[in-house]
């Protein structure tokens, strides 16, 4: 899948708008915990400790609402001036002001937000959400909250400067200890501790600088392929995965995966980022794959996955005609004892829940839209097969290959919360050609 008319000018962060093709690196996930301070006989910092983990071509973008950080502070209304460059797109609506057509200017609300989003099938940024847990333990003198009241930090004042993110502090915080300030940002407590301990969180007058974009190696050799970038900014990359490509290597020494193509894209665009995929798709499933471009974003996305705040919506063509227009499949999934790569419904398996809505019905097939509440391997394929509606083309789970030679499953939309701004983001991926032909054939019957 290729994307045309990609911008070539560099972002403020020096990233040319080039792309290449095919996934990621696995990083341990960690829980984000918070402990509160007390003021008994000995003084303790009111900062609190926690844990952290390592964690562009679409048709529409909307950005609205205001967000709050998880530290109890209101974020500014729809941040502007955020970092990096995202690619051009087909249409943008921001806070009620809409534009259409490629190359048209976006509203002030959206402009400059982590640069200019790339062209893509659909991106939405909206809503009011929270991120981060706040709290950290600091070696600085304890400061009582009554002496240093919490104040909103305008995230739109933040600018990326190389490896650093710089933001202006409100007057009431310019004299506060850095530990108190960090508690009011959407940064997990333990990551905040790490930044302070390594002198990567520095307060200079009424400005705070955070080293959120350190140079990293990609972790995979570069394999040069064309990538269909659905969305990109300094924290996030979303790639439209084609069929026949694995997200990451499944055996040692394997090449040609999406991870290798993303590594090549980072190299070609001058980005020293580690390849960090947040979720996976099966080899023959198409659709968006989300990547975190730094440790901070990885932690936030990883936590969002655990808390089921990243939504994946799929379109599939299943065999047979559904008797229900919508429903819920709640069946645990485990590994097939007789086939190492297969999965099956099993009472001893892991909980798995799939929601479906019928979109269209044909003579002997049904187009359905599916939403995952869990993310088990082969979940949609196993669940639909278990109710006698295997995916068309899915030979492994009982489907026939009369119309299509892979499972007819496509990731239609991906919805996530932006790790820094807390805005709701959404991308859409166009239906691939083989599934489009499949639907045309079914309608012609």
CA distances from 336 to 115, 259, 331, 333, 377 (A): 47, 28, 15, 9, 12
Query: Can you tell me the distance from the alpha carbon of 349 to that of 345, in angstroms, rounded to the nearest whole number?
Result: 7
Query: Can you tell me the distance from the alpha carbon of 249 to that of 256, in angstroms, rounded to the nearest whole number?
Result: 8
Task: Take residue 243 and report the two structure tokens written for it.
Answer: 């069929």
**Long-range CB contacts for residues 149-155, cutoff 8 Å, separation at least 24:** 150/71, 150/72, 150/73, 150/184, 151/73, 151/184, 152/73, 152/74, 152/75, 152/76, 153/73, 153/181, 153/184, 153/185, 154/76, 155/75, 155/76, 155/79, 155/82, 155/420, 155/421
| Phi, psi dihedral angles at 439 (to 5 degrees) | -65, -40
Residue 264 three-state SS: helix
| DSSP string for 411-428 | EEEEEEE-TTT--EEEEE
* Under 8 Å between Cβ of 76 and 128: no
Query: Can you tell me the distance from the alpha carbon of 347 to that of 369, in angstroms, rounded to the nearest whole number?
Result: 26
Query: Can you tell me the distance from the alpha carbon of 322 to that of 306, in angstroms, rounded to the nearest whole number?
Result: 31
Query: Can you tell me the distance from the alpha carbon of 292 to that of 266, in angstroms, rounded to the nearest whole number?
Result: 12
- Which of 25, 46, 282, 302 is catalytic? The answer is 282
282 is an active site residue = yes
CA distances from 20 to 87, 240, 269, 416 (A): 14, 11, 10, 23
Task: Take residue 266 and report the two structure tokens written for it.
Answer: 């980072």
* Under 8 Å between Cβ of 32 and 133: yes
Query: Can you tell me the distance from the alpha carbon of 95 to that of 437, in angstroms, rounded to the nearest whole number?
Result: 37
Catalytic machinery residues: 282
């Amino acid at each position: 899948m290729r994307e045309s008319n990609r911008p070539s000018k560099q972002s403020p962060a020096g990233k040319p708008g080039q792309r290449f093709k095919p996934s990621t690196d696995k990083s341990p996930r960690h829980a984000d915990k918070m402990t509160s301070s007390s003021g008994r006989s000995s003084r303790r910092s009111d900062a609190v400790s926690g844990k952290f983990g390592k964690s562009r071509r679409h048709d529409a973008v909307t950005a609205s609402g205001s967000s709050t950080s998880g530290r109890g502070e209101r974020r500014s209304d729809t941040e502007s001036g955020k970092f990096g460059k995202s690619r051009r797109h087909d249409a943008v609506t921001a806070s009620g002001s809409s534009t259409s057509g490629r190359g048209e200017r976006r509203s002030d609300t959206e402009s400059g937000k982590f640069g200019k989003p790339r062209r893509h099938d659909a991106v939405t940024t909206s809503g009011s959400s929270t991120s981060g847990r706040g709290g950290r333990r600091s070696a600085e003198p304890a400061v009582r909250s009554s002496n240093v009241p919490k104040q909103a930090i305008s995230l739109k004042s933040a600018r990326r400067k190389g490896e650093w993110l710089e933001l202006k502090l409100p007057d009431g915080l310019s004299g506060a200890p850095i530990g108190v300030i960090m508690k009011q940002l959407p940064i997990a407590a333990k990551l905040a501790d790490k930044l302070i301990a390594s002198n990567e969180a520095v307060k200079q007058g009424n400005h705070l600088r955070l080293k959120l974009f350190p140079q990293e190696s990609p972790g995979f050799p570069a394999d040069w392929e064309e990538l269909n970038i659905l969305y990109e900014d300094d924290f996030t990359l979303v790639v439209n995965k084609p069929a026949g490509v694995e997200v990451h290597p499944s055996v040692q020494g394997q090449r040609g995966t999406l991870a290798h193509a993303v590594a090549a894209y980072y190299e070609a665009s001058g980005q020293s980022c580690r390849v960090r995929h947040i979720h996976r798709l099966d080899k023959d499933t198409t659709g968006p794959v989300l990547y975190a471009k730094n440790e901070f974003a990885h932690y936030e996305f990883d936590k969002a996955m655990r808390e089921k705040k990243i939504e994946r919506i799929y379109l599939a063509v299943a065999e047979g005609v559904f008797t229900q227009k919508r429903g819920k499949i709640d069946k645990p999934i485990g590994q097939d004892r007789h086939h190492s790569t297969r999965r099956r419904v099993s009472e001893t398996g892991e909980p798995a829940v799939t929601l479906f809505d019928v979109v269209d019905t044909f003579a002997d097939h049904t187009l359905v839209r599916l939403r995952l509440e869990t993310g088990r391997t082969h979940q949609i394929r196993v669940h639909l097969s278990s109710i006698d509606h295997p995916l068309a083309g899915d030979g492994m789970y009982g489907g026939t290959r009369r119309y299509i030679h892979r499972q007819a499953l496509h990731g239609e939309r991906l919805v996530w919360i932006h790790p820094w701004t807390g805005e709701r983001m959404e991308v859409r991926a166009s239906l691939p050609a083989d599934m489009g032909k499949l639907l045309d054939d079914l309608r012609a019957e």
